[in-house]
Amino acid sequence: MSIPSDLATVRPSEDVAERRKELSRRTRRKLVAIAGGPNCGKSTLFNKLTGLRQKVANYPGVTVEKKAGFVPLPSGRTVEVLDLPGTYSLRPGSPDEVVVRDVLLGVQADTPLPDLTLLVLDSTCLERQLYLCMQLIEIGRPVVVALNMMDTAREEGLDVDAALLSRAFGAPVIPISARTGSGLAQLREAMDLEVAAPRAVTRTLPEPLRAVAEGLARMLPASGPLACLNSFHVAMALLLDEGEDDSLMRAAPHPVRREALARRARLDAEIPEWRSHEPIGHYRTIEDLVRRATLRLKPETSVRERIDRVLTHRVLGPVLFAALMAVIFQSMFMWATPIMNAIDAGVNALGRVLSPALPAGPIRSLVVDGVIAGVGAVVTFVPQIAILFLFISLMEDSGYLARAAFIMDRLMRGVGLSGRAFIPLLSSFACAIPGIMATRTIDNRRDRLTTILIAPFMSCSARLPVYALLIGAFIPNRMLFGFLSLPGLVLFSLYVMGILAAVLVAWVLKRTALRGPRPLYVMELPPYRVPSWRSVLLTVRDRAGLFVQKAGTVILAVSIVLWFLASYPKNAEVKPLEKRLQTLEQSMKSDAARGGRAEATAKRAEAAQVQNEIAGVSLRDSFAGRAGRLIEPAIAPLGFDWKIGIALLSSFAAREVMVSTMATVYNLGDADQTSVSLRQKLRNAENPKTGARSYSPLMAVSLMVFFVLACQCMSTVAVVRRETNSWGWPIFMVLMMNGLAWIASFAVFQGGKALGLG
């Protein structure tokens, strides 16, 4: 085959750019990428090496997390270390694996080609782990292999010949234990040295396939991002770069791309099963290598089998899982609630302490009601996030999370999801924020997105005050059939409705926006391990920290905007009320001096009433109040008036804000959902034009249905934005949920009216 002429000559401009890049590569800090399969102890090693010198970000355009840190070496130099996501193969099948391949081949946009790859292998199950190793060695870039969990392997009576592996790969192989830290000194020393590129591993491939790949390899340009890699590996990688992402293809020059596609088509026609030959060939070499390098000194123990016999038992398994879920769920409520209340009290106290120090008026209001309240809104989520991730990382690191998914898979399949989706959805009954963050354990991108989008349908604890207020005010406390409490039944139905909506939306999404090739639901069930507290606590810290940093800024900004909308413009009616308040306060002072008790109490009550009126007038006439009137025509068919419109808008800060907003609108100050006067006010509220009752039980049901389905939570939006790394999905979610809420409430209210219920 002749080489196209435009490939033989390299354009000089490219060459100069490349040389410049190479130069900067030499002068900058050395970059070490840590690669390895899932569950190989890679993250434990990363944490051990970097300590607290880490930072977490996203790779551009994808939701894959980029974890980087710095490691001091014996020579005094510091290297930058990148913790790549766990992967089984360099032929990617998920966004995570695309990133791993792209980083290791130097085509990842924001990451230079690593100077060294540290490959972590779990010594206790070497055979499957060596697959990635074979591919990595073939790239032809410097590699250091860390044989992790050597202590466990020895305890289990498994001997691994590191020297033999080192000779086979032509790369340093260092036995370590990331958990205990043994061997890490040698690892640091190896990272300090200039490691030579490894020896190419022999691989068996059928001749026609080899010829096709070699032909493509010869066409690769002599410069550019792929030039310093083994050309045969790059050729095979190009041939196998199909599926969703083709970032490697895009990194290759146009003629090479065309040639790769042509050769792939030819292979498909001539050797239909050609894709299987790489694994078949690699495993042949691996089997031989494992036979020579490992020795089982005593028969395998059955610790894992004994634990699994209980934890995945037909009856005991689900029972224990349910019990554990109950504990997690309870902790998210019980442990988090006192901390959240303390935070709330702290935030209020801070506001009170700061108030006198600030000039009365807009600045004080901005700081106290805008900024401090906003920070409070962010911080209150932290306890629940920390508790959920404490459990999740304990389950993940011990190996139980995979068993939980194994048990729940059949159930979740009904919705088109896998067992991994269960815990995030369950947690969302407490709060969707930690629930959505927990979807990180779902490796399939479409499943993860579906789970994120349906999680907010689970009735979270913030909806409870709203339900409590409306049920208390409008649903008669009657028994049905003598044993079913009507309020209880209504509350239960609201929870069921959220679940049904989630199932429906998941079903639709899986057939429309998130349709795609059926993923391979194969999941490793790792051996049980004792989790390392350090790793668990670092995960908890990471999650909470990331939430505060990334989602927190959005939440704070929206809080300030909401504060502004509810406080401005200032109303003229407020002036005389404020005057009245001032005179009242002054006369109260003089009364106190004279000692008139009864009079003072009456005046205090009046002052409180005036204060509530001021709050009511200001809110009713604020931008938020006007917006409430503006949207009235849109929500009138659902049975809502403009006052509820204000509550709907302001509850975007958090759903429970609806209750205090209704209280303010009705001049009741800061009443909560148990307030009898607020319930009475709602029941007796009249439409000034018609004189009829504003709200009926039917409207209350319609409103509760709206709260079940609508996305009225800026924190959810912020966290979805962060977890999907896009604004598109959160916007879609808001439109979808609120559209659904409107339709359902419309159906309830209009249907109910047609049936003569309201």
Nearer to another protein, 26 or 518 (CB): 518
Query: Which candidate, 63, 51, 57, 48, places its Cα nearest to that of 726?
Result: 63
Give residue 88's Cα distance to chain centre. Answer: 22
Is residue 118 within 8 Å of residue 176, measured between CB atoms? no
Minimum CB–partner distance for residue 264 and another protein (Å): 10
Coil, helix or strand at residue 442 = coil
Minimum CB–partner distance for residue 262 and another protein (Å): 17
128 touches another protein by CB under 8 A? yes
669 touches another protein by CB under 8 A? no
39: amino acid identity, one letter: N
* 130-169 footprint of another protein as x/- string (CB under 8 A): -x--------------------------------------
Residue corresponding to tokens 């205990």: 180
14: amino acid identity, one letter: E
Minimum CB–partner distance for residue 91 and another protein (Å): 7
100 touches another protein by CB under 8 A? no
Query: Contacts from 6-14 at CB under 8 Å and sequence distance 24+?
Result: 6/255, 7/219, 7/221, 7/253, 7/255, 7/256, 10/221, 10/222, 10/223, 10/224, 14/223, 14/224
Residues 562-581 that bind another protein (CB under 8 A): none
526 touches another protein by CB under 8 A? yes
Which of 34, 103, 126, 388 binds another protein (CB under 8 A)? It is 126
704 touches another protein by CB under 8 A? no
Query: Which candidate, 558, 675, 564, 680, places its Cα nearest to that of 625?
Result: 564
Minimum CB–partner distance for residue 81 and another protein (Å): 26
Which of 279, 487, 488, 596 binds another protein (CB under 8 A)? It is 279
Residues 435-474 that bind another protein (CB under 8 A): none
Stretch that binds another protein, among 47-55, 178-186, 237-245, 622-630 (CB under 8 A): 237-245
33 strand-pairing partners: 82, 117
Residue 176, both tokens? 């370590």
Nearer to another protein, 354 or 525 (CB): 525
479 strand-pairing partners: 485
Nearer to another protein, 130 or 378 (CB): 130
DSSP 57: E
405 touches another protein by CB under 8 A? yes
The secondary structure of 209-270 as a DSSP string is: HHHHHHHHHHHS-SSSTTTTS-HHHHHHHHHT--SS--HHHHHS-HHHHHHHHHHHHHHHHH
Stretch that binds another protein, among 119-127, 378-386, 579-587, 588-596 (CB under 8 A): 119-127
Stretch that binds another protein, among 45-53, 216-224, 312-320, 621-629 (CB under 8 A): 312-320
246 touches another protein by CB under 8 A? no
Nearer to another protein, 65 or 524 (CB): 524
Which of 75, 204, 276, 601 binds another protein (CB under 8 A)? It is 276
Residue corresponding to tokens 């410097």: 142
Nearer to another protein, 283 or 335 (CB): 283
Nearer to another protein, 133 or 336 (CB): 133
Nearer to another protein, 405 or 638 (CB): 405
Task: Give the whole-angstrom CA distance, residue 101 versus residue 226.
Answer: 12
Is residue 133 within 8 Å of residue 108, measured between CB atoms? no
Which of 58, 166, 285, 312 binds another protein (CB under 8 A)? It is 312
Cα dihedral 263, 264, 270, 276 sign: positive
Residues contacting another protein: total by CB under 8 A? 45
Residue 15, both tokens? 């060459």
DSSP 368: I
Task: Give the whole-angstrom CA distance, residue 137 versus residue 603.
Answer: 84
487 touches another protein by CB under 8 A? no
Q: 563 burial class (0-12, 13-18, 19+ CB within 10 angstroms)? A: buried
Minimum CB–partner distance for residue 88 and another protein (Å): 6
Task: Give the whole-angstrom CA distance, residue 421 versus residue 139.
Answer: 36
528 touches another protein by CB under 8 A? no
Residues 313-372 that bind another protein (CB under 8 A): 313-315, 317-318
- Which helix (H) or strand (E) is 385 found in, with range? helix 382-398
Minimum CB–partner distance for residue 280 and another protein (Å): 5
Minimum CB–partner distance for residue 516 and another protein (Å): 11
Minimum CB–partner distance for residue 85 and another protein (Å): 16
Minimum CB–partner distance for residue 29 and another protein (Å): 34
Nearer to another protein, 83 or 97 (CB): 97
Minimum CB–partner distance for residue 419 and another protein (Å): 8
Nearer to another protein, 275 or 580 (CB): 275
**What is the chain's alpha carbon radius of gyration, rounded to the nearest angstrom?**
32
Query: Which candidate, 208, 279, 234, places its Cα nearest to that of 138?
Result: 234
Nearer to another protein, 155 or 273 (CB): 273
Minimum CB–partner distance for residue 237 and another protein (Å): 13
Query: Which candidate, 100, 94, 38, places its Cα nearest to that of 445?
Result: 94
Stretch that binds another protein, among 524-532, 544-552, 597-605, 692-700 (CB under 8 A): 524-532
142: left (phi over 0), alpha (psi -120 to 50) or beta: beta
Which of 127, 155, 159, 585 binds another protein (CB under 8 A)? It is 127
Task: Give the whole-angstrom CA distance, residue 563 versus residue 325.
Answer: 38
242 touches another protein by CB under 8 A? yes
Task: Give the whole-angstrom CA distance, residue 130 versus residue 171.
Answer: 14
Minimum CB–partner distance for residue 507 and another protein (Å): 18
612: amino acid identity, one letter: N
Q: What are phi and psi of 588, to 5 degrees?
A: -65, -40
406 touches another protein by CB under 8 A? yes
Minimum CB–partner distance for residue 415 and another protein (Å): 15
* 64-93 footprint of another protein as x/- string (CB under 8 A): ------------------------xx-x-x
The secondary structure of 619-686 as a DSSP string is: HHHSHHHHHHHHTHHHHGGGT--HHHHHHHHHTTS-TTHHHHHHHHHTT--S--TT-HHHHHHHHH-B
Minimum CB–partner distance for residue 471 and another protein (Å): 36
Which of 522, 593, 598, 755 binds another protein (CB under 8 A)? It is 522
Which of 378, 407, 475, 733 binds another protein (CB under 8 A)? It is 407
Q: Which positions touch another protein (CB under 8 A)?
A: 88-89, 91, 93, 124-128, 131, 240, 242-243, 273, 275-276, 278-280, 283, 304, 308, 312-315, 317-318, 402, 405-407, 409-411, 413, 517-518, 520-526
